[in-house]
Amino acid sequence: MSRQVVRSSKFRHVFGQAVKADQCYDDIRISQMTWDSTFCSVNPKFVAMIVEASGGGAFMVLPLSKTGRIDMSYPTVCGHKGPVLDIEWCPHNDNIIASGSEDCTVMIWEIPDGGLTTPLREPVVKLEGHSKRVGILSWHPTAHNVLLTAACDNVVILWNVACGQAMVQIDSVHTDLIYSACWNLDGSRILTSCKDKKLRLLDPRKGTVIAEKEKPHEGHRPVRAVFVSEGKILTTGFSRMSERQVALWDPASFSKALTLQDLDTSSGVLLPFFDPDTGIIYLCGKGDSSIRYYEVTDEAPYVHYLSMYSSKESQKGMGYMPKRGLEVNKCEIARFYKLHERKCEPIVMTVPRKSDLFQEDLYPDTIGPEPSVEASDWFAGKDGKPILISLKDGFVATKTKEFKVHKSLLSTTTCSSGNRNGDSADLRSIQEELKQLKATVADLTQRVSELESK
């Protein structure tokens, strides 16, 4: 009688590998702030990292191709008056990024194709509504221009970014510091973890609690929570003895965890990254030098350990590339951007396959960049499922869509965001001054040529 000892899975042999030194981003002074966010955000065009800055906060945006040593004078996005705590690229427009800061504001920036040539100080939109530092940002996965922000004032705000307005303010639910906040796959639910030791499932438009779990982990240290497949919830936290744990919950019956596993005794908070296409959850601890990964399935014990990527250097932050930015012909199923003290190092997760053909079982249709519902419709009650794309021929951005998004975002901002009237006046005066300077330069050039000819 044969007994199956090892669980069969096509992801059993997934391995992580750091890229060569010349493909890293070197000489970047990563922020020293003690805040449990990823400090890095990536999309198929750019990598953004929060960096050290004197007098305010800044982050650096690099085109993915700009590897090697980065010059000290490379321009940054530096409009915040306090340190930047979190950044996140818009999933529907690869040139728009949001940043939250200790100065209590959230700013939306537009990065030109090819990256910055001069420091960027003026945001497209400035969102003011929090009374304490803003440490959590999360774009809505399917609705266009909807942004969730959470701050140390224990308030969650949902913004319509296009008109710069706070549409929903959830201020009476959380009694203490919010550790994490995220959307489910279609953006119809919000999941938060809080210092009051409660895990809450919220209706985003009403701001009401649908379900809550007290003490998902017994320890006092921060808890992180994300949605995984079939509406289940995965949490990372600490036991009473300060051991790190990972647990899986079914919101329909929060009383008992489907599984609760002890990991180790490190002190860093585990940041979870879930891939809905493969069902793999990656756990990256701040201060760790490893990335653990598990497969989430519907058979006990539900969360199956696959393997671990280890290195010598500890990580200060981690960026996670969306599926459409991966190289499918190399069987790459995930790519991380690991932040060291002075550099950013891409780490590639690969499934070993002999064939060079497109592997359909590894790449089911994935979430594309097209939103399925507009902000106003979503706030009015309409939900939208993610619009899926095939990766068979690699992802190709449609230029018309990019232009349309830029245009709508910028035009609606300038006409309907009330606090930007002063900015447009400033812009007019700058344009006038520029015109005069150009005229002066033309006169001087003509005078020089006259003198030279004499």
Q: How many CB atoms lie within 10 A of CB 206?
A: 10
Please report whether residue 378 resides in a domain.
yes
Please report whether residue 389 resides in a domain.
yes
Integer-rounded Cα radius of gyration of the chain: 23
Please report whether residue 289 resides in a domain.
no
Q: How many CA atoms lie within 13 A of 255 on its CB side?
A: 1
* Separation between Cα atoms, residue 254 and residue 355, nearest integer Å: 44
DSSP character for 30?
Answer: B
Q: Do 65 and 24 contact (CB within 8 A), yes or no?
A: no
Q: Identify any residues that bridge with 233 across adjacent strands, giving them in sequence order.
A: 227, 249
pLDDT beyond 60 at 380: yes
- The token pair at 188 is 């119809």
Q: Do 31 and 38 contact (CB within 8 A), yes or no?
A: no
Residue written as token pair 């489907």: 258
Please report whether residue 273 resides in a domain.
no
240 burial via Cβ count (<10 Å: 0-12, 13-18, 19+) = exposed
pLDDT band, very low/low/confident/very high, at 426 (cuts 50, 70, 90): low
Residue 246's nearest CA partner among 208, 273, 211 is 273
Per-residue model confidence (pLDDT) at position 408: 47
Per-residue model confidence (pLDDT) at position 9: 86
pLDDT beyond 80 at 414: no
* Domain extent for 41: 20-171+367-407
pLDDT band, very low/low/confident/very high, at 441 (cuts 50, 70, 90): confident
Per-residue model confidence (pLDDT) at position 443: 75
Please report whether residue 242 resides in a domain.
no
Domains in the chain, number: 1
Please report whether residue 60 resides in a domain.
yes
Mean pLDDT of all residues belonging to the chain: 88
Strands 366-367 and 332-339: unpaired
Residue 223's nearest CA partner among 246, 193, 247 is 193
Per-residue model confidence (pLDDT) at position 267: 86
Per-residue model confidence (pLDDT) at position 115: 93
CATH of the domain at 395: 2.130.10.10
* Separation between Cα atoms, residue 372 and residue 251, nearest integer Å: 26
Please report whether residue 309 resides in a domain.
no
For range 44-68, the mean pLDDT: 93
Please report whether residue 99 resides in a domain.
yes
Window from 137-141, 289-293, 333-337, 436-440 with minimum mean pLDDT? 436-440
Residue 273's nearest CA partner among 355, 330, 212, 334 is 334
| Predicted TM-score (pTM) of this structure | 0.86
Q: What is the pLDDT of residues 333-367, one digit of tens each?
A: 999 999 999 999 999 999 998 887 888 889 999 99
Per-residue model confidence (pLDDT) at position 3: 52
How are strands ordered across the β-sheet holding 190-194?
Answer: 178-183, 190-194, 198-203, 208-214
* Separation between Cα atoms, residue 321 and residue 315, nearest integer Å: 17
Q: What is the pLDDT of residues 174-223, one digit of tens each?
A: 999 999 999 999 999 999 999 999 999 999 999 999 999 999 999 999 99
Q: How many CA atoms lie within 13 A of 165 on its CB side?
A: 11
pLDDT beyond 80 at 5: no
pLDDT band, very low/low/confident/very high, at 422 (cuts 50, 70, 90): very low
Residue 80's nearest CA partner among 21, 135, 36 is 135
For range 287-300, the mean pLDDT: 92
* Separation between Cα atoms, residue 347 and residue 356, nearest integer Å: 21
**b (16+ CB within 10 A) / e for 395-404:** beeeeeebee
